[in-house]
A and B are shown apart, each in its own frame.
Chain A
Amino acid sequence: MIWLIAEAILRRNFYDLRFVFLTAVTLLLFIASGALFAQEMNQRWEAYQRQATEAWQSRNLEQVRIVRPPRTLAFIAEGGERNLSHVFQIEPEHSEPVEMDKTRGPFLELLRDIDWVYIVGVFLTLLVLLFSYDLISGQREAGTLSLILAQPVSRAQVLVGTYLGTVLSITVPMLIGMTGGLLLVLTIGAAPLTITDGFRIGTVVMLSVVFLSLFVLVSLFLSSRTAYASTTLVSALIVWVLFVLIIPNCSEPIADLLDPLPDSAEYQRRIRQIDREESSKLRISSQMLAPIIHGPYSDEEKRRQVEELQRKLIEADWAARWEIRRMQNRVRQERERREQEHRQLARRLSRLSPFAFYQYVTESLADTGLIRQQRFRRQIERNTASFTSFTNTMRQRYAHLGRSSGYGEIEDAGYRLRVPHPPRFEHIQIPPQDFPAFVDREPPVVETISDALWDLYALVFFNVVLFVATLYAFLRYDVRPG
């Protein structure tokens, strides 16, 4: 009996001209998205290969640049990849990679990428509401609901049948669209998709069905709480606007309000101040030489003492530079931590809407966006140690070739004191392949799923809760027309 009802819903939708029209629109959206993304991914790969070659050739003992490869699955969930930096620089003195191209970018601020998450989250959810709002209240108005319930069939069966029929009928345009988009990406796009990618895509498809089923349940719930189909539609639309447009967009301004981020200029000022304060302690002056020169020593003794002083100054200089780096890194880390906390807060706030859950799960599955950026940074951090030890060995080996990074000296009565400057080693030719290799390990699918497990769990949980609520509402529904 459940299947009979589901089949009836399926038939009703498939014979409906609006349904056919909207399926065509869905297919069109997926195809357009696929075409644009395939083109853009090709450009990104080109840019990546250019940048990576440059970075490879310019490796030296002072710095190494690492370029983050673009993700092929960005067409599923772009996740703001465009605005994240792609080039990281490792310096032996820095414990953290420096993001190189943060302030770059054209003037065009993309409103939002039309990826699968967007099409499913904005367009298909609306489609779900438009095709399911009148399933209970509309049938009551038409008088068919009481006829169905006059048959030997329980209300739970009617509800399950209606639910299954709607979910199945929305899956059809989604699958058609996704297949079309995917085919286009495969034919135009230069980057090949691997088996793992296929598995990831499959999981995203299943996830999308779970997400859309949530909206089917919202619609059925509202439909069995209201007497007229038009009231159902209005309340469903309000819920849609809240979940899809308002909550995801308000989370960031509200996070700004609750937890305002300090100005980035403030951090830069603190970094400069550390530099100024610490370096002012390092100034050398002729007064340092005076007690030696005018002291009661022999010339030999004076020379030895000046050399001793010079050695101490260089040591102090090294120590101070390390200290500056350490303190500056601490400020940078603090800033990074604050930004991270801020983003977490914004994410937590956006989780008032199931759209956010869906988006974050899909991003982790496609391995794009912020999550991937953080994972990539952690990998670089792991690699920094090997790079630092390599440069230190090399620097010791080529210590005699180091070039002083600055000049300046003080002279008094024939005794000279040089301004200490650490030697630089950029000019030393080291074959790029001698550097420790950077390993970009793609996380296994299981790991990405476990990252997103809470969001996934929440999606399923909402489904179950809403189903129970809908069942309860429908059991108490007054089916008499009029």
Chain B
Amino acid sequence: MVWSIARKRLLLNLRTFKFGALTLLAFALLLASGFVLTTEYRRRTEEYQARREAEVDRLLYAQAYSQTTLRLDWPPEPLRLLSRGVGDRFGVRAFLPGHFGPMRIINPGEGTSLTSFLGLDFSNVITIVFSLLAILLTYDVIAGEKEKGTLSLLLANSVPRSRVLAGEYLGALLSLMLPLTAGFLLWLILVRADLEVEFDSQIWVRLGLCGFVSLVFISSFILLGLWISSSVSRSATALVLLIVLWVMAGVIYPNFTTWAVTQTHPPEPRTGTNVAQASEASKRGLEMEVINRAIAQAEAAAIWTAVSPWEAYRTVVAILARTDFGSYLRFRRTAEQWQHQLEAWHREKIARYPSRERNWSNTDPDLDLSGMPQAQWVSEPLRESLSRSLPYAGYLLAVNGLLFLAAALAFARYDPRYQL
């Protein structure tokens, strides 16, 4: 019985105008985003390679230890196509002067973005279009059948309410899985055809997980739709409520929380100390404090915004794509480690050849570069990404479970009789 209800819902959905229109919109956006982001990826890769090539023989001409500085570059992530993330906005190149100054991270190819608040990428198309589609397909599932009078007919058969709900849920899920799978495959074909990069098994696993999480995310909106639909008696009321919730959860709540966090975690030390006027020694400490505060601020914002399933989903995808803020922190930490190693190495060499710290003359022998650390970037392994994304993915699953319970409870108590 569950299956026949699911089948009925699936067939009903496939024939509607909203389904066709939104599916087409989603496909168009997915293809556009794939095209835009592969172009961007290719440009970034070229820039990265140009930067690396410029690095190759820089150390060959070093004459004093002050010239033996290192640079760590964060290569463009191929899965940035899934989620642009925020990680690389804060810099993809670290200057490591070792003993000769503090580390600096810059963004060589930075653009000034002023108007857009959601970049166009895979995760955003899913969050905007598919969640809307989920709501539009489910708002009238219970309340609408009641209005038409078919709900009491359905319940007059020997089928328990839980099965009706499960069938409706499965039907909606199946009807959304179709465009999701098709869109994902289409997007993948475009990306693979357009991109020369080899996808290794790890990337395929990440892509698969991303598809699964997208399904979990969409399912949470289906369940929300079912819950609201079985809590009100008119489908129009359900729709208005759902749309308001959708805008609140997706657009307004994350913005407000981020903003509130900038107020609760101000980026500058409260004491009114002025970084520009502080002494050199305390300047380093103050700068560190400013950075630490900024990191604390960003982390607080990441946690608070993830209360909205939209943001939780985006975070999971960004972690899987290695473009989230945590990935930037990982880059920063790696750069710091190399900076410390280089500093130790500089100290050791300067102790041995004090005259070569900053100066040299034509008669000096070649600089002793033995044992010099080579800053290298190792991408985050899958296991680490998984453990970082687990809390958010778990939260999404828990939201699903809670919404299912709420929907089951509401539907069990639902009055199916139709009154004008």
- On whether A230 and B128 interact (CB within 8 A), knowing A36-B259, A114-B259, A265-B109, the answer reads no
| B129 near A241: Cβ-Cβ < 8 Å | yes
| Further 18 A-B residue pairs, CB within 8 A, beyond A110-B258, A122-B251, A231-B17 | A40-B262, A50-B274, A80-B114, A107-B295, A107-B328, A110-B262, A113-B255, A126-B244, A233-B239, A245-B128, A248-B116, A249-B117, A249-B120, A249-B124, A252-B119, A253-B33, A264-B108, A346-B115
Which of A171-179, A255-263, A321-329, A395-403 lies on the face that meets chain B? Answer: A255-263
Compute how far the CA of A370 lies from the CA of B243 in the bound complex, rounded to whole angstroms: 33
Compute how far the CA of A261 lies from the CA of B325 in the bound complex, rounded to whole angstroms: 25
- On whether A80 and B115 interact (CB within 8 A), knowing A114-B256, A246-B128, the answer reads yes
Cβ contacts A29-51/B at 8 Å (1 or 0 each) = 10010001001100100000010
Looking at the complex, which one of B18, B117, B243 makes contact with A112 (CB distance below 8 Å)? B117
- On whether A265 and B47 interact (CB within 8 A), knowing A111-B117, A122-B251, A250-B120, the answer reads yes
| A237 near B132: Cβ-Cβ < 8 Å | yes
| B117 near A108: Cβ-Cβ < 8 Å | no
Q: Which of B265-286 contact A (CB under 8 A)?
A: 266-267, 274, 276
Asked if A83 is at the interface (CB within 8 A of a chain B CB), the reply is: yes
Chain B residues within 8 Å of chain A by Cβ, number? 71
Q: Which of B116-130 contact A (CB under 8 A)?
A: 116-120, 124, 128-129
How far is the CB of A416 from the nearest CB of chain B, in Å?
Answer: 22
Q: Which of A335-383 contact B (CB under 8 A)?
A: 339, 343, 346-347, 350, 359, 369-370
| A251 near B35: Cβ-Cβ < 8 Å | no
Asked if A130 is at the interface (CB within 8 A of a chain B CB), the reply is: yes
**Is the contact region of chain A dominated by helix, strand, or loop, or is it mixed?**
helix
**In the complex, which residues of chain B have a beta carbon less than 8 angstroms from the beta carbon of A216?**
none
Compute how far the CA of A260 lies from the CA of B39 in the bound complex, rounded to whole angstroms: 10
Asked if B72 is at the interface (CB within 8 A of a chain A CB), the reply is: no
Asked if A103 is at the interface (CB within 8 A of a chain B CB), the reply is: yes
**In the complex, which residues of chain B have a beta carbon less than 8 angstroms from the beta carbon of A234?**
17-18, 21, 136
Asked if A18 is at the interface (CB within 8 A of a chain B CB), the reply is: yes
Asked if B298 is at the interface (CB within 8 A of a chain A CB), the reply is: yes
A residues sitting closer than 8 Å to B (CB atoms) are 18, 22, 25, 29, 32, 36, 39-40, 43, 50, 54, 79-80, 83-84, 103, 106-114, 118, 122-123, 126, 130, 134, 229-231, 233-235, 237-238, 241-242, 245-246, 248-254, 256-257, 260-261, 263-265, 339, 343, 346-347, 350, 359, 369-370
How far is the CB of B235 from the nearest CB of chain A, in Å?
Answer: 7
Asked if B159 is at the interface (CB within 8 A of a chain A CB), the reply is: no
How far is the CB of A177 from the nearest CB of chain B, in Å?
Answer: 13
| A110 near B259: Cβ-Cβ < 8 Å | yes
| B116 near A252: Cβ-Cβ < 8 Å | yes
| A79 near B258: Cβ-Cβ < 8 Å | no
**In the complex, which residues of chain A have a beta carbon less than 8 angstroms from the beta carbon of B106?**
103
**Is the contact region of chain B dominated by helix, strand, or loop, or is it mixed?**
helix
- On whether A254 and B36 interact (CB within 8 A), knowing A108-B298, A126-B243, A231-B17, the answer reads yes
Asked if B260 is at the interface (CB within 8 A of a chain A CB), the reply is: yes
Could you write out 22 A-B pairs with CB less than 8 Å apart? A32-B256, A39-B263, A83-B113, A106-B293, A107-B298, A107-B328, A109-B86, A110-B255, A111-B255, A114-B252, A130-B243, A134-B236, A230-B236, A230-B239, A234-B17, A238-B21, A249-B116, A252-B113, A253-B37, A263-B47, A263-B109, A264-B110
Asked if B43 is at the interface (CB within 8 A of a chain A CB), the reply is: yes
Compute how far the CA of A233 lies from the CA of B240 in the bound complex, rounded to whole angstroms: 10
| B47 near A108: Cβ-Cβ < 8 Å | no
Cβ contacts B245-265/A at 8 Å (1 or 0 each) = 001000110111011111100
Asked if B180 is at the interface (CB within 8 A of a chain A CB), the reply is: no
| B36 near A253: Cβ-Cβ < 8 Å | yes
| A112 near B255: Cβ-Cβ < 8 Å | yes
| A249 near B118: Cβ-Cβ < 8 Å | yes
| A108 near B258: Cβ-Cβ < 8 Å | yes
Compute how far the CA of A467 lies from the CA of B356 in the bound complex, rounded to whole angstroms: 80
Compute how far the CA of A108 lies from the CA of B140 in the bound complex, rounded to whole angstroms: 39
Asked if B111 is at the interface (CB within 8 A of a chain A CB), the reply is: yes
| A261 near B252: Cβ-Cβ < 8 Å | no
| A114 near B116: Cβ-Cβ < 8 Å | no
Asked if B297 is at the interface (CB within 8 A of a chain A CB), the reply is: yes
**In the complex, which residues of chain A have a beta carbon less than 8 angstroms from the beta carbon of B55?**
none
3 residue pairs, one from A and one from B, having the closest CB atoms = A80-B114, A112-B117, A106-B294
**In the complex, which residues of chain B have a beta carbon less than 8 angstroms from the beta carbon of A18?**
237, 240
Compute how far the CA of A293 lies from the CA of B261 in the bound complex, rounded to whole angstroms: 73
| B236 near A106: Cβ-Cβ < 8 Å | no
Q: Which of B80-121 contact A (CB under 8 A)?
A: 86, 89-90, 106-120
Compute how far the CA of A110 lies from the CA of B115 in the bound complex, rounded to whole angstroms: 11
Compute how far the CA of A130 lies from the CA of B243 in the bound complex, rounded to whole angstroms: 9
**In the complex, which residues of chain A have a beta carbon less than 8 angstroms from the beta carbon of B129?**
241
**In the complex, which residues of chain A have a beta carbon less than 8 angstroms from the beta carbon of B247?**
122-123, 126
Asked if B174 is at the interface (CB within 8 A of a chain A CB), the reply is: no
| A248 near B255: Cβ-Cβ < 8 Å | no
Compute how far the CA of A339 lies from the CA of B140 in the bound complex, rounded to whole angstroms: 49
**In the complex, which residues of chain A have a beta carbon less than 8 angstroms from the beta carbon of B43?**
260
| A107 near B297: Cβ-Cβ < 8 Å | yes
How far is the CB of B33 from the nearest CB of chain A, in Å?
Answer: 8
**In the complex, which residues of chain B have a beta carbon less than 8 angstroms from the beta carbon of A111?**
117-118, 254-255, 258
How far is the CB of A119 from the nearest CB of chain B, in Å?
Answer: 9
**In the complex, which residues of chain B have a beta carbon less than 8 angstroms from the beta carbon of A43?**
266
How far is the CB of B107 from the nearest CB of chain A, in Å?
Answer: 8
Compute how far the CA of A237 lies from the CA of B18 in the bound complex, rounded to whole angstroms: 10
Cβ contacts B1-45/A at 8 Å (1 or 0 each) = 000000000000000011001100100010011011101100100
Cβ contacts B362-380/A at 8 Å (1 or 0 each) = 0000000000000000000
**In the complex, which residues of chain B have a beta carbon less than 8 angstroms from the beta carbon of A50?**
274
| B297 near A106: Cβ-Cβ < 8 Å | yes
Looking at the complex, which one of A107, A257, A260 makes contact with B35 (CB distance below 8 Å)? A257
**In the complex, which residues of chain A have a beta carbon less than 8 angstroms from the beta carbon of B119?**
249, 252-253
- On whether A107 and B17 interact (CB within 8 A), knowing A36-B259, A122-B252, A249-B118, the answer reads no
Asked if B301 is at the interface (CB within 8 A of a chain A CB), the reply is: yes
**In the complex, which residues of chain B have a beta carbon less than 8 angstroms from the beta carbon of A359?**
115
